[in-house]
Chain A
């Protein structure tokens, strides 16, 4: 079976700094995949290149067997993206944003309206749908961003830190929607810092460190009996155990 995402030797540098130094990312079709790594590991850069928003300096990217940069027509219609930083069209209302996205993708107007109504309801945004996105809270922005990414029913969904700064109620909504989505055989790739969440949601994990994939595979293969957090700390090599210094900190015995 063709993998949902497969990169070979993906490479990107900014000036002197190598952000991504030859990444071979693999995500099988139908998996709920977590991309984890410390800050600066190259997760965002990798996702930007995979989704066609940032030009790689080298390497190949295939989504469902189609090259992202050589054959964008076959790729772009079938992927959904929620980039980091919640950059949305601020001066459209939540509903207008969905309508715009849907029409941009050539979905007929009444179909877009129907899907937007359902998404807004599921995301619990029905009340705020006519407010401008600029006035939305972080959780609302993540939810409307996810709704926009799902509107055209993509086969692969890329989410960069979708749970960052989201309240537990909104996070739960996001998770429910994503679970339903992967249950039907679609693929989700998301980056996160929160190991517990990745451990709870994902069946496939890719661990990045300093611009490289250092471990990759089904969740149980990566953690090998430990918690994912322990496995992760081993993989990225933690220096110091936090016991030196700070002797003054805490209540006196």
Chain B
């Protein structure tokens, strides 16, 4: 036992020296460290203050709010280390596999280490605000302290369990690819309650809160919050349940840890194979030659490259959001409420074409050494547009049909879908121009949210924004009459869009070919 506690102390000191390590080195790093320390302090004070303020709410609302807050802490503890994997060297059990340690020593040591540091302390301080918010009477305060500690322990063990169980996966390229997509899903899902509240779905936030409280009631965070509010024997029983949950998680974690330590590190063995080309879903319909090659490559990239997948998922999600938020509460009728969302979805999808060459990045030279006339570049752009249409057109059709069904008249989809296709064509034409005039590098990292390489952020923003504005302006002649009820006008939309995309490609190919080396440099910046 003495060895265990000695080893635990060693882990804590290891973590402390890692934290202190942030103070050495360049000024930038030190400023970053000071900033992060300040942020942790601020988070601790603000978290504690906000939770304490809940005391002034009615008791049942307060209980629900604290339950929700406790649950969010637990989710945060699970999700954040996953996103920032590799940030903290003590987290990866594989690094400790060579040392002569028992699983028990390792488990207590790593748990103690993860409780050390500015951010864990900050969350402990913030969590104790829950006692202020809920405790009425000395018994409640007495229960409150172990409740907060247990909730903290629950966060820690849950977080450890998930990171350890996934650490093997996270070290492979495939796992990180998957996580990049999962992370986007996570962030988008966080927007759902926001959206529902904004839409006034139930019209009453307190009712949403109450139903959330009901769901969380029997989870460990909910039990801990309830125990503080109860302050009696029931509270004690609830804390015992939470403690048991922590023990079970801890036990599972030790099992996962033991497994992770003896399992071979598969990270260097690479991913699996892919199906032969020519057997991709659309393979046999593609024309031979440059156009077909580009379309096939683009479709593969949309499916295999995490950034490609992220773009499409984001576009899909934004379309859904638009669809729901456009429906006014007054139930205003007319084709506009179907055509509008469909067109906006088309613009969002088309924005991906605003930096067509960015996704190729440093590999664009393979095209550049082949292209010897503007016509080649035009074919390349056409291939990219065709691939985007292959995915985008069915998607827009679905969006139009759903929007029409929601609006109550399926026939409106017949007007909305062609207009949306046309707008997509306009967006692609405009995007071809921005792709060659304002190209920028997509970052190579897991992080799917920073838009461009260092120093190109402003350009990335400007090019998307310009594409959006110009597309909007150019789409007006076809979209506006339909929006105002002149539905037969929709038959003009597709030819108009195709013409716009063609013209965009034609002009862009001339400009782009003349500055091919510059284009190459712009999308191959180090990130």
Contact = CB atoms under 8 A, between A and B. Distances in A.
Interface of A: 51-55, 72-73, 75-77, 79, 81, 83, 85, 87-93, 95-96, 99-101, 103-106, 108-109, 130-132, 134-136, 148
A77 B301 CA distance: 26
A87 B365 CA distance: 8
B367 interface: yes
A132 B369 CA distance: 22
B292 to A, nearest CB: 7
Interface stretch (B59-67, B205-213, B266-274): B266-274
A45 to B, nearest CB: 12
Contact of B372 (A72, A88, A92, A99): A72
A100 B288 contact: no
Interface stretch (B216-224, B399-407, B490-498, B517-525): B517-525
Interface string B349-376: 0000000000011110111111111000
Contact of A135 (B173, B278, B293): B173
Which of B293, B296, B362, B367 is packed against the most chain A CB atoms within 10 Å? B293
Interface string B251-295: 000000000000000000011111111100000000011101110
23 contacts: A53-B365, A73-B372, A75-B372, A77-B372, A79-B369, A81-B369, A87-B365, A89-B360, A90-B305, A90-B363, A92-B300, A95-B277, A96-B300, A99-B293, A100-B293, A100-B296, A101-B370, A103-B292, A104-B293, A130-B274, A130-B276, A131-B270, A135-B270
B517 A100 contact: no
Contacts of A53: 365, 368-369, 517, 520
Contacts of B290: 103-104, 106
Contacts of B294: 104
Contacts of B171: none
Contacts of A96: 274, 277, 297, 300
Contacts of B372: 72-73, 75-77
A77 B290 CA distance: 14
A135 B520 CA distance: 24
A47 to B, nearest CB: 12
A91 B304 contact: yes
B363 A130 contact: no
A158 to B, nearest CB: 9
A222 to B, nearest CB: 29
Given A54-B517, A73-B373, A93-B273, A109 B297 contact: no
Contacts of B517: 52-55
Contacts of A93: 273-274, 277
B297 A100 contact: yes
Contacts of B367: 104
A103 B296 CA distance: 11
Given A53-B520, A96-B300, A76 B363 contact: no
Given A81-B369, A104-B370, A91 B288 contact: no
Nearest to B271: A135
A210 B300 CA distance: 43
Contacts of B273: 93, 130-131
B76 to A, nearest CB: 31
A115 B273 CA distance: 21
Contacts of B518: 55
Contacts of B274: 93, 96, 130-132
A32 B272 CA distance: 38
Nearest to B517: A55
Nearest to A110: B288
B370 to A, nearest CB: 5
A83 B365 contact: yes
Given A104-B370, A105-B370, 15 more contacts: A51-B369, A53-B520, A72-B372, A72-B373, A77-B372, A87-B362, A92-B297, A95-B276, A96-B274, A96-B297, A103-B288, A130-B274, A130-B276, A132-B271, A132-B304
Given A92-B297, A132-B304, A99 B277 contact: yes
A101 B366 contact: yes
A103 to B, nearest CB: 4
A93 B370 CA distance: 20
A89 B297 contact: yes
Contacts of A136: 270
Contacts of A101: 366, 370
A69 to B, nearest CB: 10
A105 B370 CA distance: 7
A75 B365 CA distance: 15
Given A104-B293, A135-B270, A148 B366 contact: yes
B363 A134 contact: no
Nearest to B270: A135
Nearest to B521: A54
Contact of B371 (A76, A91, A135): A76
B300 A91 contact: yes
B100 to A, nearest CB: 33
Contacts of B297: 89, 92, 96, 100
A152 B273 CA distance: 26
Nearest to B302: A91
B523 to A, nearest CB: 11
Nearest to A148: B366
A153 to B, nearest CB: 14
